Each structure stands twice: as structure tokens, then as C-alpha cells.
Amino acid sequence: MGLSDAVNRVFRNGILHATTNPVVRRTVERYGMQLGAARFVAGESLDQAIQALRRLEDMGFKTNTTIFGEHVFDDDNATFQAVLKSLETFEQAPEVFYPYTSKYDAYLAGKTALSAAELRGLQLFNDEKKGNCASCHISQRAKDGAPPQFSDFGLIAIGVPRNRTLAVNRDPRFFDLGACGPERTDLDHRAEFCGLFRTPTLRNVALKKTFFHNGVYHSLEDVLRFYARRDTNPQEFYPVVKGKVKKFDDLPQQYWANLNTEPPFDRKPGDAPVFSDAEIKDVMAFLDTLTDGWQPPAH
């Protein structure tokens, strides 16, 4: 599309750094560009972001073209400028762009206490033998005292189920392999990147309605249940054909070696799930404390 130089300039000028902030995904959504802009700033190319934008409605998003006009996606340059304008607008409002006003931020600052359920959830979140969530979604302050971003912004493969409601997935030969393509081409020769996707922040995650790169789940409880039971009860998530579970149905088998096998993905059928139903509720209670705009209860 001839825009690679422009994209590189954007990253060099600090857009990438600025937009790793946890509320960008939510704020950009207000302009109807959540998915594409989030993928763009997460290290993917403009080409990929535009393709993602054009699949918004397949994944349950409604595109708001009120701000930029109904033809904003017809031209790649117009899309590029609209994404940048969306980001620029919110970067100019620190109280919106990076408020860090969640209950958890207040807790870290010693201004409030977490409830018993929230504390149990935090412990499960951090426990390396249970959720092990904090290994990627870092929950502690940085060494310089900066609030935790709840992402290491790394890449990981976890083998989420295929979303058969996506039009692109009607072709059984199509697989979204994340870092190695097919939309991204700079790593298409690097098999070790196939199936890997950027680790998202969990700030404001309780506000989300669609989860994972392919939008396969629409509730946080379903996401946590997948994490807890993917390996102990795979039949709950993947197709069963002639009595055999077709696990990791959205990732060709030659790339299964890339899948994460650390807790909670270190179990097998017959083992107890990493979370009980009650523990899932506790983790959800903790994740709810990551929503910005918390106010202490009135006395």
C-alpha cells in the first residue's frame, strides 16, 4: 500500500509507546476502530490493521462512521489518518488516556482495601501453580513505581478454539496464524512465530464484550473457564469427531510445539481443573477491580 515508511515514522515518533496504555483499546472503540487500531499499535502493520477493521462486524463490533464519514474504510490512506486522529485526540486528554483510577490502583496506593473475594482472586491470579496469570499480565508496580500495565506485551500461543461464525473461517484452509501470517508477511518464514498473538492488557477487561484474536468468546467467565479447563476437559471447547476431541482446531498441528505449556496449561484429562467454579468467580471479582473510574463508597 506504500505506507510502510509512514507507519515507521509513526512508531519512531512515539505513537507505539504512547498507545501501550491500557485504556487505548476502550477509547479508540468510541470511534468504531477498536480492533484495527489495537492491532496496529500492538506491533502489526497498517495492512493488518485495515484488514482487521474490515472484519469488525464479523466479530460483533458495530462500526461507527459518524466521526469520519461512512467511506472511511474505502481508502487505506483515509483509514490510516482516521486511526492516527483517534489516537491523537485521546493522547491530548491525560485524564481519559491514562487515568489509572481503578480500585486496584487505589489498593496499591494504600487508599482502600480489597474484599475477601477480590483478594482471593488476586492470589489465584498471581499463584505460579494456579492461574499464573501475572507471568504475562504483570500485576506489580514497575521498578520506577509506575502502575502495572497488566501485560508484558509479549507474544504467546494458547490455542483458542476456531470461531466458526467468522466469514473468513468458512474456508477450512484458512488459519489466522498471528505473527507469522497470513496478513502479516514479514515473519511468514518463521515457523516459531506461528499461532502467537500479542498479550493484551487486562485493564478494563471487565468492560470488554469480545475476547481473543478471533472473538470466539463473549464473556470473561467463558475465557477463564477455557484457561482453567482447556487441557483437563478439552471436549468442552473443541469439536468431537467419532468420539475423539479435535483439539487446537484453529492451529495446524505442525505449529503445536509453539503452544504454551506452563500453568495453567500444564494439565491433562483426568486432572482437576486449575480453577474451581468458585475460584473463577473470585478471579472475576479481582479483574473487576481493574476498571477505571472507581469511587470509594459514600459514607
Same domain? 168 vs 257: yes
Same domain? 85 vs 159: no
* Assigned domain for 177 exists: yes
Considering only residues 168 and 77, tell me which one the structure prediction assigns the higher pLDDT. Answer: 168
Same domain? 263 vs 172: yes
* Assigned domain for 104 exists: no
Same domain? 179 vs 250: yes
Instruction: Summarize pLDDT for 205-221 with one digit per residue, the tens.
Output: 999 999 999 999 999 99
The set of cell numbers assigned to 210 is 469480545
* Assigned domain for 141 exists: no
Considering only residues 152 and 29, tell me which one the structure prediction assigns the higher pLDDT. Answer: 152
SS3 101: coil
Instruction: Summarize pLDDT for 229-273 with one digit per residue, the tens.
Output: 999 999 999 999 999 999 999 999 999 999 999 999 999 999 999
* Assigned domain for 135 exists: no
**Greatest CA span in the chain, whole angstroms?**
61
d(CA 286, CA 215): 23
The set of cell numbers assigned to 156 is 504467546
On the question of pLDDT at 46 being above 80, the answer is no
* Assigned domain for 150 exists: no
* Assigned domain for 128 exists: no
Q: What pTM value is reported for the model?
A: 0.74
The pLDDT value given to residue 18: 34
Number of domains, the chain: 2
Instruction: Summarize pLDDT for 2-16 with one digit per residue, the tens.
Output: 333 333 333 333 333
Mean pLDDT of 15-35: 37
Per the CB < 8 A criterion, the answer to whether 283 and 121 are in contact is yes
d(CA 266, CA 260): 9
Strands 244-245 and 197-198: unpaired
Same domain? 62 vs 163: no
Alpha-carbon 22 to chain mean position: 11
Q: For position 266, which CATH number holds?
A: 1.10.760.10
Same domain? 165 vs 267: yes
H/E segment holding residue 191: none
Boundaries of domain holding 164: 155-271
Q: Which residues of 68-80 are buried (b: 16+ CB within 10 A; e: fewer)?
A: beeebbeeeeebb
Instruction: Summarize pLDDT for 93-114 with one digit per residue, the tens.
Output: 666 666 899 999 999 999 999 9
Which of 97, 112, 143 is a domain's end point?
97
d(CA 146, CA 290): 15
d(CA 6, CA 213): 25
d(CA 190, CA 255): 11
